[in-house]
Chain A
Amino acid sequence: MAEEVLVFGAWGSPFSRRVEMALKLKGIEYKYIEEDLTNKSPSLLKYNPVHKKIPVLVHNGKPVAESLVILEYIDETWKDHPILPKDPYERANARFWAKFIDEKCLSAIFKACWGACWGEEKEHEKAEIEHEKAVKEVSELLQFLENELKEKRYFGGETVGLLDIAANTIGYWLGVFEEASGVELLTREKFSKLCNWANEFVCVTAIKENLPPRDKLIAYFRNRFGAGNASK
């Protein structure tokens, strides 16, 4: 039976890249449609009328939206190279940390990199305090992930799993944000395990082939959010 798999995404989005990484890991062929997020296609609006966002996976005409929901769908549909463990407790654990990354980490990272704006001289001190608070928060969040990694090569153990894929924001995009904004967050002294993991992660074929070009991404974020919160 001819199978049709479409992925609606955006080149710089970690969320749509997650979907592509999972499909690549499982060796699934798909057609990629790049969306201009300032001018969304009728197809995207048809397939995701509720959120009107990427990514959307369309499998034989049936759309699935929300990157973590899509990852689970991919794992349940194509059984080769499973990305979730079999044990229910370990599955719950992977899901817990994936949710943690999406709900807590990204917004904290953004705030630390681009949150406070340099204002009047008077406001400078206030912005500095806010910035320090944001950096501290990111540090605490990253510490949880550092502890969760323990001695494992990947979050998924010996092979890349759902949590590694969900952590692409930490494994690649975080480094991009740091360089674009000049704010250091994932330091080797504090997070040696996480740094080692990030290095391994970006070398995995299915991951490497789905990372947007670094320079292009840095330029994009600098353009969009400005020079960032780096201390003068």
Chain B
Amino acid sequence: MAKNDVKVLGAWPSTFVMRPRIALNIKSVNYEFLEETFGSKSELLLQSNPVHKKIPVLIHGDKPICESMIIVEYIDEVWTSGPSILPSDPYDRAIQRFWAAYVDEKWFAAMRGLRIAQGEERKAFLDQVTEGLALLEEAFGKCSKGKAFFGGDRIGLLDIAFGSLLGWLRVTEKVGKVKLLDEAKTPGLVKWAESFCADAAVKSIMPETEKLIEFSKLLMAQMKGAPPPKN
């Protein structure tokens, strides 16, 4: 397939943008990565995602697909010759989708709160993040069944959903001087995080912690004037 048949509109620091890129890598699909300039939105983005005006957008041929996890499922359904991202059993699929929704709707908000909040509020977010990690540790035990990933032997939907947050998790640990993934409390997730980041589909696109820390300073500066751009 011609490289410019598949485009991803995005930005390198974004958790959500990583997701379709990982999925395309899993399927060995070549794509063009069109990076948005920080602080502005391109015409192509506004045209392709008029509803939310957000990245990522996958453009396949002339068709735009929006919302990161919806894009991942689309990729899985279109490129069927590559390894499957979702398991075949409906119940296992439901469990992966449930936890992916949990990560996006609950845990992500707590992580973000933790990055920005101060004082008492910060402690509340930290508790939420830690509780969430305990739940995810338990889920990992059940889903992985002793293998390396939530998806088993290979990276699956939930690995992508949760693993894409590891870059920013590490930023929070470093800048916030707090340990979130812990060998004592979340041993499964600690090992999983290493395996995930070392995986061929992830390695080349997982942003370095130092680069993300630099970028987060830009974000904070922008916050002083206006709300941060939602990733």
Contacts and interface: CB of A to CB of B under 8 A. Distances in A.
Given A88-B78, A89-B74, A99-B70, A69 B98 contact: yes
B102 interface: yes
Contact of A88 (B74, B95, B98, B102): B74
B14 to A, nearest CB: 18
Interface string B77-106: 110000000000011011101100110000
Contact of A89 (B65, B67, B91): B65
A69 B101 contact: yes
Interface string A80-105: 00000000110110011001100000
B74 A92 contact: yes
A100 B67 CA distance: 10
Contact of A92 (B70, B90, B93): B70
Interface of A is mostly: helix
Interface in B46-97: 51, 60, 63, 65-67, 70-71, 73-74, 77-78, 90-91, 93-95, 97
A62 interface: yes
A199 B92 CA distance: 37
A50 B135 contact: yes
B18 to A, nearest CB: 19
Interface stretch (A2-10, A70-78, A113-121, A165-173): A70-78
Interface in A191-214: none
A95 B70 contact: yes
A65 B93 contact: no
A225 interface: no
B56 to A, nearest CB: 13
Contacts of A99: 67, 70
A34 interface: no
Interface residues of B, number: 22
Contact of B94 (A50, A69, A95): A69
B25 to A, nearest CB: 19
Contact of B66 (A59, A64, A73, A96): A96
A99 B73 CA distance: 14
Interface string A58-70: 0100101110111
A7 B102 CA distance: 21
A69 B65 CA distance: 20
Interface string B181-207: 000000000000000000000000000
Contacts of B60: 89
B73 A95 contact: yes
Contacts of B94: 64, 69-70, 72-73
A151 to B, nearest CB: 20
Given A72-B93, A144-B51, A96 B67 contact: yes
B67 A64 contact: no
A99 B66 CA distance: 11
Contacts of B71: 92
Nearest to A78: B90
Contacts of A72: 93-94, 97
A77 B92 CA distance: 12
A92 B77 CA distance: 10
A55 to B, nearest CB: 13
Nearest to B96: A69
27 contacts: A50-B135, A62-B91, A64-B95, A66-B98, A66-B101, A69-B98, A69-B101, A70-B94, A73-B91, A73-B93, A76-B90, A76-B93, A77-B90, A88-B74, A89-B60, A89-B63, A91-B73, A91-B77, A92-B65, A92-B74, A95-B70, A95-B73, A96-B65, A96-B67, A99-B70, A100-B51, A144-B51
Interface of A: 50, 59, 62, 64-66, 68-70, 72-73, 76-77, 88-89, 91-92, 95-96, 99-100, 144
Nearest 8 pairs of A and B residues by beta carbon: A76-B90, A88-B77, A73-B94, A92-B74, A64-B94, A69-B97, A77-B90, A95-B70
